Amino acid sequence: MKVFVTGATGFVGSAIVQELIDAGYQVLGLSRDEKADQVLIAAGAQAHRGDLNDLDSLRKGASAADGVIHTAFNHDFSKFKESSENDRRVIEVFGDVLAGSDRPLIITSAIGLLPRGRFVTEEDMPVAGPNPRIASEQAADAVAAKGVRVSVVRLSPTVHGDGDHAFIPTLIKIAKEKGVSVYDSEGLNTWPAVHRLDTAKLFKLALEKAAVGGTRYHGVAEEGIPFREIAEAIGKSLNIPVESKSKEEAAAHFGSFAHFAAMDIHASSNQTQESLGWQPEQPGLIADLDNGTYFSA
């Protein structure tokens, strides 16, 4: 089976590529340049030149494969709405190619789109609001209505592990620059988490067991880690103070990252684990912070 993977050289996508190759799949990875070509070839995959704005290249990649895993997304937040709408178009293109076949389509979404303030499961749906990222799940439902075997993998706010360049490194950078690791009030707001290697196994299982109907899966290994524990682990490793701040003080401390630092999400993956037989096995987030990898640079 040949699988077309977008984001194939990214933090999550590269782990998926390796997981698929180790399981005997052929992988066709989306590549923007020669450097990415070389990375994919070294991993044992084939390179397919194109990008998210070249819909014809995506159409050709999907047409050449027996299934598609779509992980690529432009995370330039200055163009977030534009990127989200483009993701809608990308998913629609994949849906058009795969409609009328049994070939699966796996797309990527976020746990953070779900309602806040209560425990959420795979059955919960994103609430319409200011976050334009909901476009991806709307597009998934649209192609599911055409009979495409589409599944949505919602990832935790922090997908951690070697090579992480997202939320946790941002927190570490802020703590280093300001000489203090901060949490808001009592630091009881929680972040779900999952290791990138466990995520890769989840995508492979979703590919193999996807059903018609827009099934949702949760990439959640830890349902909710109190932000205070994350701040304390960072402070310990950097050997700097850990302090509670008022909501206003914390917002000033985190600056443009304040919205993410204040996330309070508690999510389950019980249905995902039961239906796919997925069992997270990698170290948890605090263990990953304690082992020093995040602080070696």
CA dihedral 285, 290, 296, 297 (to 10 degrees): 40
**Is residue 274 in a domain?**
no
Bridge-based pairing state of the strands 222-226 and 190-195: antiparallel
Residue 14 tokens, joined = 């590269």
Q: Is the pTM of this model over 0.85?
A: yes
Mark whether 125 and 50 lie in a shared domain: yes
Mark whether 44 and 71 lie in a shared domain: yes
What is the residue range of 55's domain?
A: 2-158+193-221
Domain boundary among 184, 205, 221: 221
Q: What is the spatial distance between Cα 207 and Cα 127, in angstroms, rounded to a whole number?
A: 26
**Is residue 277 in a domain?**
no
What pLDDT sits at residue 73?
Answer: 87
What pLDDT sits at residue 297?
Answer: 61
Domain count, the chain: 2
Mark whether 46 and 168 lie in a shared domain: no
For residue range 238-286, list pLDDT tens digits in order. Answer: 999 999 999 999 999 999 899 889 999 999 999 999 999 999 999 999 9
What pLDDT sits at residue 3?
Answer: 98
What pLDDT sits at residue 49?
Answer: 96
Mark whether 197 and 259 lie in a shared domain: no
**Do 150 and 144 form a contact (C-beta atoms < 8 A)?**
yes
Mark whether 147 and 256 lie in a shared domain: no
Mark whether 187 and 198 lie in a shared domain: no
Mark whether 148 and 234 lie in a shared domain: no
Helix H or strand E segment including 107? strand 104-110
Domain boundary among 183, 202, 221: 221
What pLDDT sits at residue 77?
Answer: 65
Residue 264 tokens, joined = 């309070």
The CATH number that applies at residue 102 is: 3.40.50.720
Residue 9 tokens, joined = 């050289």
Residue 125 tokens, joined = 């749906």
What pLDDT sits at residue 118?
Answer: 87
**Is residue 245 in a domain?**
yes
Mark whether 183 and 43 lie in a shared domain: no
Mark whether 34 and 67 lie in a shared domain: yes
Give the chain's residues under pLDDT 50: none
Largest distance between two CA atoms of the chain: 59
What pLDDT sits at residue 131?
Answer: 78
Mark whether 205 and 238 lie in a shared domain: no
Q: What is the spatial distance between Cα 219 and Cα 166, in angstroms, rounded to a whole number?
A: 16
Nearest one of 213, 189, 166, 202 to 266, comparing CA atoms:
189
